[in-house]
Amino acid sequence: MKKKNLVIVPFGNNSIESSWIFDDADRSFDVVLHYYHKTITSEKLKVESHSFALYHLCDFKWIMAHDFFTRYPDYLNQYEYFFFPDDDIEIKKETIHYLFDLVSTYRLQMAQPVLLPGSFKSWKILKKKRWSGIRYLSTVELMCPVLSKNAVADLLSTFNLNKSGWGIDILWGEIIRKKFGPKSIAVFDSIGASHTKPVGRGELYEKLGKSAFEERDEIFTTYSIAKTKIYTIPIPENSWFEKLKSYFFVKNLIIKLNQKSK
């Protein structure tokens, strides 16, 4: 049966080689790798595999994603949702299944799993909250977002505005909420991922040519963005009682998904 979800991962010589990339057994999604180093050193990637597709694009994450959809537009027509985890994100195959199902259930345009304790993070609001299933936010972070087909189409022209991606996440929130409303973006507290490397350091940032802060501020200035932080949307669904209800709803949904998969 044709899968309706796609995971796209920027991949290099030191990336986490998650087991679900190389094993598509009982996997409800397809995988595409965007390789960013000039030379492929991983032996696993040198062998042709039916479990993933490899594109040697040699660029930064969102620039590669922009080029990918521009060169291969059929991908946008084939799938309903797209998950874009960084290559230093640890996440289980089952969690990705839950993520896609929850995004579809809540009819979201953008979402992400919460960042688990011990993760490196730049936004405290994305830390796990107790007794919460879903929280509606102004945007999500670019390290592991899920986007709907419609969101990718609407945002594609902004994918390559800079190299780091800093500031683009805030811009995305402005665009998506304006078109789809205040309940179009959320984080799920009941499912999580781990960000294993510090934010703002490493190979990517050494290649930018300018600081990520400069790139971020250029986005804010160009698009006249006043609210430059991720914030909770002031709607009834974000009340304490509604978040508690969502905790049990999401928990029960995950139980049903587990039973269905057995």
The SS3 assignment for 157 reads: helix
pTM of the model: 0.94
Question: Is the model's pLDDT at 152 over the cut of 50?
Answer: yes
CA atoms within a 13 Å half-sphere pointing along the CA-CB vector of 229: 8
Per the listing, tokens 């660029």 go with 59
Structure tokens at 46: 């040198």
The pLDDT-based confidence of 1 (bands split at 50, 70, 90) is: very low
Instruction: Give the whole-angstrom CA distance, residue 185 versus residue 207.
Output: 31
List the alpha helices (DSSP H) in the chain: 19-22, 43-46, 61-71, 74-78, 93-105, 149-155, 168-180, 203-206, 212-222, 240-261
Q: What is the pLDDT of residue 2?
A: 56
Structure tokens at 187: 């984080």
The overall average pLDDT reported for the chain is 92
Instruction: Give the whole-angstrom CA distance, residue 207 versus residue 209.
Output: 6
DSSP 158: G
pLDDT tens per residue, range 5-28: 999 999 999 899 999 999 988 899
Instruction: Give the whole-angstrom CA distance, residue 145 versus residue 107.
Output: 15
Count of residues making up the chain: 262
Q: What is the pLDDT of residue 202?
A: 63
Q: What is the pLDDT of residue 262?
A: 65
pLDDT tens per residue, range 162-191: 999 999 999 999 999 999 999 999 999 999
The pLDDT-based confidence of 216 (bands split at 50, 70, 90) is: very high
